Amino acid sequence: MKETAKFESSSGLSRQKIETALKALLALRTLVLAVGNAQNDGEVGTVPEIGVSPFIWRNDGLYIYTSRLSQHVRDLIELGEAGCLLCADEADSQNIWVRCRLKFTVKAVEVSRYDPIFDDLCSEFTTAHGPTMGLIRNFTDFHMFRLVPVDGVLVLGFAKAFRVSGPAFDIVAHLSEA
């Protein structure tokens, strides 16, 4: 029998409940990306760039396929890291002040279209997100990225926020603030 973790007793939510809510967020279809605004001098500008992308989730990270015509994608190529957000629809939010969400930092690694896994990833995108992938698959301004989660925060309600860590979003601690 598993012992009750400290984050379970302090939050009043069982590990199973938390993991079910986490999986529901990972079953969303799109993520929000916030990327530093890369400057020519190697510095980062004050106001980040934002993008919204369909994604697929694998054990080793979240994958997006997106065009460098968008500034945030050029910045992602330049900087190699970003902030990510998965957020439940407003219509599914019981209390709008605490939309269930998972935010986390990622390292971004480009997957070349000549990489042996590229075809598999494209097929998964088609299965998950429909025939648009067939149209954009050969557009060379599009890039495939693996986003590898580093650490983050899972918000499930008032006083129900948790620190998560690593690509599997292991629950590390209950946070008293979020």
| Cα Rg of the chain (Å, integer) | 17
Residues 142 and 70: beta-carbon distance below 8 Å: no
Give the separation between CA 130 and CA 111, rounded to whole angstroms: 21
Binding of its own copies at residue 140 (CB under 8 A)? no
Residues 144 and 119: beta-carbon distance below 8 Å: no
Q: Which of 21, 25, 54, 121 binds its own copies (CB under 8 A)?
A: 54
Binding of its own copies at residue 97 (CB under 8 A)? yes
Q: Which of 18, 62, 82, 156 binds its own copies (CB under 8 A)?
A: 82
Binding of its own copies at residue 61 (CB under 8 A)? no
Cα atoms found within 13 Å of the Cα of residue 53, Cβ hemisphere only: 27
Residues of this chain that bind its own copies (CB under 8 A): 28-30, 32, 34-37, 43-50, 52, 54, 67, 69-70, 79, 81-85, 87, 89-92, 95-97, 99, 101, 103, 105, 129-130, 132, 136, 177-178
